[in-house]
Structure 1
């Protein structure tokens, strides 16, 4: 995928999967459909009396306690972040997501299955220019010792640090410049994780009903309970980046900026997106000519409306 694709993209043909929801434990059928330009990523519950379309935009986030949940008109769809991360990581702008349950299936706890679905379906370029949300000034949100900042950059970069004060998950940091190859190879296979003590507590509260060693890394006080161990030595921080990619995709457009996440989660990621969108001076919506941008190596935030970027009129 070019660094800045010229046009919007969708999948070439429908593709489906079946799995259980991580928290609901409900078996769900999920189907991705190609969608036209400017459609965006839109979720539709097919099991409700009236089909409600829920755009993957921050304004429809209704819960961020244990996952990112979207809702509209009383209809909710939970744990959307892994699928959104896969779509964003592969540069997919427009898809209709149909599912017959309350939660996106967790699959193996990573975004890898969704990546395989998209690559299997194929990618189709649409005849409409792609737009970007370009960060123009630093924006920061904090909560205790947690902090998330997004600042101007030439490309979409993520720096992430976690620290769980645990012998197996101490301080871990990872940084990458987003591309389709980097996302697929370095991030997509990183699984969600939890502590055994928290898993037991969640199940008493009626949550985590679909969780197992097949779809999550589970850690007790001194060991990893999964027989096959980790996929990466720092799989924990890589999964936090996976989550962040999905959460910031709720801007509704691909971002050009540097996200620096310190001990963040879904709630703080969402607050950052909200704070950026609440201040029009912090960003600009632009269209770009990829070949010219890459050849000139421009500093994108400094050239809104220049020869390589065109401000959007709507």
Structure 2
């Protein structure tokens, strides 16, 4: 039998989350359910009349907007916004296959981080599946730029993200984080980092139809040189950690949920550059290849590095 860390995973049970969209302010319920091997991430929207649009693959070619969040086109004039936090949690925790269903136009913001989703995954556990995990191996470096901002994907023997941000704010300033992925480190260092914004932009954003559901309960609010949230920050560098959370989510759109085996680097990046670098990677087959996990060194995602309390179920015992 191949080692379990080279096998695909899905959830061991169903999850449901209710809340409202941070931009729309509209109530929404999201469910995540187990999916068979090689499904990837599939998303559906339940419409007001009870009809279902989808499921369709969560895929970078379906990205239609990247202003303040990532929005996917499901077809039939239907879209879903702010998809990045939920797929970040799935990818960060090593889930390969899942069905996602919403009854609204935007994923619930919950507390502004991916921790509620991550905690849910830990609660229901994961199911090891009898199919080889696959990765997108970066063979040739690609870079996209916007003035001094850039995002790059490069060949690397592992999964690492090197992300740097810079804001004209004494509270944030310049922050950098290098994240060598494992599920445990995702749960401990990334998942709880919340989205953030500036008080000076709030009125203009709301007039433009954004941040209608934003509050101190789901966002870090920066005014001049202070944090307005009464409880302060969860991490001293929570801002760059949330940008890392977003990047992990956006990059999981590469091929319906397949993880990237390589190095991601970014400076002053965001959803737009994250989407552009995926387009650049897949512009030529010389840039990448799909590789079975068993053909790669997998010490970075061994099952013994799962977070404490995460139950692992396996029916591989019955199939070989």
Task: Tell me the alpha carbon deviations over residues 17-48 of structure 1, each in whole angstroms, 9 at most, x when there is no partner.
Answer: 11110101011111111111111111111125
Flag the 1:282–1:142 CA change in 2: closer, same or farther, 3 A.
Answer: same
Segments of 5+ residues of structure 1 without an aligned counterpart are 296-314
Contact 2:139 2:154 in 1 (8 A): yes
Question: Does residue 293 of the first structure (1) align with residue 297 of the second (2)?
Answer: yes
Contact 1:4 1:288 in 2 (8 A): no
Question: Does residue 35 of the first structure (1) align with residue 35 of the second (2)?
Answer: yes
> How far apart are 1:294 and its partner, in Å?
4.6
> How far apart are 1:198 and its partner, in Å?
1.2
Q: What is the match of residue 265 of structure 2?
A: 260
Distance in 2 (CA, whole Å) between partners of 1:199 and 1:130 is: 43
RMSD over aligned CA atoms reads: 1.6
Distance in 2 (CA, whole Å) between partners of 1:273 and 1:200 is: 33
Helix, strand or coil at the partner of 1:250: coil
TM-score of the aligned structures, taking structure 1 as reference length: 0.90
Alignment of 1:188-207 (within 5 A): 188-207=191-210
Flag the 1:280–1:3 CA change in 2: closer, same or farther, 3 A.
Answer: farther
Q: What is the match of residue 281 of structure 2?
A: 276
Flag the 1:201–1:282 CA change in 2: closer, same or farther, 3 A.
Answer: same
Distance in 1 (CA, whole Å) between partners of 2:239 and 2:197 is: 10
> How far apart are 1:128 and its partner, in Å?
1.0
> How far apart are 1:79 and its partner, in Å?
0.1
Q: What is the match of residue 301 of structure 1?
A: none
Q: What is the match of residue 181 of structure 1?
A: 184
Question: Does residue 96 of the first structure (1) align with residue 90 of the second (2)?
Answer: no
Distance in 1 (CA, whole Å) between partners of 2:298 and 2:33 is: 31
Distance in 2 (CA, whole Å) between partners of 1:121 and 1:46 is: 24
Question: Does residue 162 of the first structure (1) align with residue 165 of the second (2)?
Answer: yes
> How far apart are 1:5 and its partner, in Å?
2.5
Distance in 1 (CA, whole Å) between partners of 2:279 and 2:53 is: 23
Alignment of 1:229-268 (within 5 A): 229-252=232-255, 253-268=258-273
Distance in 2 (CA, whole Å) between partners of 1:4 and 1:213 is: 41
Flag the 1:39–1:171 CA change in 2: closer, same or farther, 3 A.
Answer: same
Distance in 1 (CA, whole Å) between partners of 2:253 and 2:84 is: 9
Helix, strand or coil at the partner of 1:65: coil
Contact 1:7 1:127 in 2 (8 A): yes
Contact 1:6 1:130 in 2 (8 A): yes
Helix, strand or coil at the partner of 2:156: coil
- Select between 79-88 and 280-289 the one with higher mean Cα deviation: 280-289
Contact 1:43 1:97 in 2 (8 A): yes
| Superposition misfits of 4+ residues, deviation over 6 angstroms | none
Contact 1:7 1:125 in 2 (8 A): yes
Task: Tell me the alpha carbon deviations over residues 150-186 of structure 1, each in whole angstroms, 9 at most, x when there is no partner.
Answer: 1111111011111112111111111110000111101
Helix, strand or coil at the partner of 2:122: helix
Contact 1:8 1:126 in 2 (8 A): yes
Question: Does residue 105 of the first structure (1) align with residue 108 of the second (2)?
Answer: yes
Contact 2:47 2:53 in 1 (8 A): no
Q: What is the match of residue 9 of structure 1?
A: 9
